[in-house]
Amino acid sequence: MKNKMEILIDEAKLQSRIKEIAEEIKKDYGDEEVVFCSVLKGAVFFTVDLMKNYQGDCLLDVVRVSSYEGENSTGEINLKIPLKQENIENKNIVVVEDIIDTGRTLKYLVEYLKKFNPKSVKTCALLDKKARRVVEFNTDYTGFEIEDLFVIGYGLDYDEKYRNFPYIAYVKND
């Protein structure tokens, strides 16, 4: 598959934008503690780099959902690792996602989180495929808006592969 891939966002560009996002978030929360809630598995790489750049009080939590098989969203969200009430209640939550596509995952997660009475909930996605939105949803923090391309690398997979690339690439259809 490697010969059909093209780099979309290289490592340097990714890292400098992630630093900016961390600074943006810090500006908004100041001295208040933030819980970064990483959406497994795709957001793992992004969450780590975001937190390493975050110069303030923060905690890490994880949730696991899945909605994708191959290149197509099944539309159905499955929650595989649920959150604990005590980790959410009265806390400032920032949901960290690799990519927002149809919007279903983040919309579902924000609604789910609200049941645990957080102090606030915001969302942060490294990539945004705006043209593909099915449900109305805007993220609070966005790394890059991208075209309607199937992307891989930096956590993003194609059937579980290619997550290890330090850059974002897209699959060329020929």
Residues involved in catalysis: 101
Measured distance CA(135)–CA(81) in Å, rounded = 23
**37 is an interface residue for ligand IMP by CB under 6 A:** no
> Helix/strand/coil (H, E, C) string of the chain?
CHHHEEEEECHHHHHHHHHHHHHHHHHHHCCCCEEEEEEECCCHHHHHHHHHCCCCCEEEEEEEEEEEECCEEEEEEEEEECCCHHHHCCCEEEEEEEEECCCHHHHHHHHHHHCCCCCEEEEEEEEECHHHCCCCCCCCEEEEECCCCCEEECCECECCECCCCCCEEEECCC
Measured distance CA(143)–CA(86) in Å, rounded = 30
Candidates 34, 37, 99, 109: give the one binding ligand IMP (CB under 6 A): 99
Residue with CB nearest Mg ion? 42
**143 is an interface residue for Mg ion by CB under 5 A:** no
Instruction: Select from 25-33, 85-93, 98-106, 116-124 the region that touches ligand IMP (CB under 6 A).
Output: 98-106
**42 is an interface residue for Mg ion by CB under 5 A:** yes
**153 is an interface residue for Mg ion by CB under 5 A:** no
- Residue with Cβ nearer ligand IMP (40 or 59): 40
- Residue with Cβ nearer Mg ion (42 or 118): 42
Interface mask (CB under 6 A) for ligand IMP, residues 54-93, using x and -? Answer: -------------xx----x--------------------
C-alpha dihedral sign at 34, 37, 43, 47: positive
Interface mask (CB under 6 A) for ligand IMP, residues 125-164, using x and -? Answer: -------------------------xxx---x--------
- Residue with Cβ nearer ligand IMP (49 or 101): 101
Q: Binding residues for ligand IMP, per CB under 6 A?
A: 39, 42, 67-68, 73, 97-105, 150-152, 156
